[in-house]
Amino acid sequence: MNTLKMAAVSLATGFVATLYTGLVNTTPGGLVGAVWYGWPESWLKYLVIAPQYSPWKVTHTNLAIDVIVWAVIAFIIWAIIAMGAKRR
């Protein structure tokens, strides 16, 4: 697998992993009024107390950081797999 294709697959994998972490509740203990989702950065918040319009709030910067983190992890895994396949 060439590097460009591996990077594209890693980015797609990072995006899917980030969306999956949107199901993980990461609310700090003692926080009242919002429920946080996403890992390692909480990028999705559900406002429990007095939302003006939509109770869901997406923090785009944290979302982008999560996609990059998971894409780098996926790229490393794909590179290790590719190196193992070349040795055979």
pLDDT band at 1 (very low <50, low <70, confident <90, very high): low
Average pLDDT over residues 30-55: 89
pTM of the model: 0.86
Span 10-35, pLDDT tens digits: 999 999 999 999 999 999 988 888 99
Q: Provide the pLDDT confidence category of residue 86 given band limits of 50, 70 and 90.
A: confident
Mean pLDDT computed over every residue of the chain? 91
Quote the tokens at residue 13: 């994998």
Specify the long-range contacts of residues 29-36, CB closer than 8 Å, at least 24 apart: none
pLDDT at 84: 85
Question: Mean pLDDT throughout 46-63?
Answer: 89
